[in-house]
């Protein structure tokens, strides 16, 4: 029997919710549950996890039996990867090397596409933004960031 999943988006969403719910359920048991009258720290998360699992299964079922076909569609991954790497790099660099380097790397990673075709443009944006943020945050607002280490 082949499963024809009509609404793939809803089905996948349902699966994700169920998975998160199951994980949360397992984790909730590590805390004291208590009773309804005197709720322990685990009680509320437990209720929420159960609710999430129920909703997740309902969504998955609905996705299975949907009348309109909704395919997953294209998911451009390149922007996702580069922006996330840029942000993570920022987080790693700002304490280690200072604001200027962190902003520079963020821009380089986030503007990867433009970098290949128009590197000068990216360099200009980077220079402008570094100047603006350093001026605004370190000198203007006096925030405790490292400029460069």
Partner 1 sequence: MSQLLDKLGLGFGVALTLKNFLYCLLGATLGTLVGVLPGLGPVTTIAMLLPITFKISPVASLIMLSGIYYGAHHAGSTTAIMLNMPGEPTSVVICIDGHPMARQGRAGAALCISALGSFFAGCVSVIVIALFSPPLADAALLFGAPEYTSMIIMALVTASVLSSASLITTIAMAVLGVLIGTVGTDVNSGVVRFSFGAEGLADGVSFVAVAVGLFAFAEVILHLGALEQRHRITSRIRGLLPTRADLSAAWKAILRGTAVGAGFGILPGTGPLISSFAAYALEKQIAADPSRFGNGAIEGVAGPEAANNAAALTHFIPMLTLGIPAGAAMALMLGALMIQGIAPGPQVMTQHPDLFWGVVASMWIGNMMLLVLNLPLVGVWVRLLAIPYRFLYPTILVFCCIGVYSVSNSAFDVFLAAGFGLVGYVFKRLNCAPAPLILGLVLGPVLEENLRRSLLISRGDPSVFFTRPISLAMLLLAVAFVVIFSLPALRRRREALT
Angle between helices 119-133 and 99-110 (to 10 degrees): 150
Question: Which one, of 53, 74, 55, 54, lies nearest residue 9 by Cα?
Answer: 74
Which CB, 1 or 117, lies closer to partner 1? Answer: 117
Using DSSP's 3-state secondary structure scheme, residue 65 falls into coil
Which CB, 5 or 86, lies closer to partner 1? Answer: 86
Give the shortest CB-84-to-partner 1 separation in angstroms: 5
Contact positions toward partner 1, by CB under 8 A?
Answer: 9-10, 12-14, 16-17, 20, 24, 27, 31-32, 35-42, 44-45, 48-49, 51-52, 55-56, 58-59, 62, 70, 72-73, 75-76, 78-80, 83-84, 86-88, 90-92, 94-95, 99, 102-103, 106-107, 110-111, 114, 125-126, 129, 133, 137, 141, 143-145
Give the shortest CB-4-to-partner 1 separation in angstroms: 19
Give the shortest CB-119-to-partner 1 separation in angstroms: 13
**DSSP H helical segments within the chain, as ranges?**
8-28, 43-64, 78-96, 99-110, 112-117, 119-133
In this structure, how many other beta carbons lie within 10 angstroms of the beta carbon of residue 146?
A: 15
**How many whole angstroms separate alpha carbon 60 and alpha carbon 20?**
14
Which CB, 44 or 139, lies closer to partner 1? Answer: 44
């Amino acid at each position: 029997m082949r499963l024809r999943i009509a609404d793939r988006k809803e089905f996948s969403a349902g699966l994700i919710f169920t998975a998160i719910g199951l994980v949360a359920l397992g984790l909730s048991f590590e805390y004291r549950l208590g009773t309804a009258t005197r709720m322990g720290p685990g009680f509320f998360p437990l209720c929420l996890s159960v609710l999430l699992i129920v909703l997740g299964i309902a969504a998955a079922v609905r996705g299975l039996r949907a009348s309109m076909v909704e395919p997953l569609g294209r998911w451009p991954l390149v922007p996702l990867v580069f922006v996330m790497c840029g942000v993570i790099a920022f987080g790693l660099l700002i304490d280690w090397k200072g604001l200027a380097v962190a902003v520079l790397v963020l821009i380089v990673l986030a503007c990867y596409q433009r970098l290949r075709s128009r590197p000068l443009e990216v360099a200009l944006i980077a220079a402008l933004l570094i100047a603006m943020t350093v001026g605004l945050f370190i000198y203007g607002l006096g925030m405790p960031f490292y400029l460069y280490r």
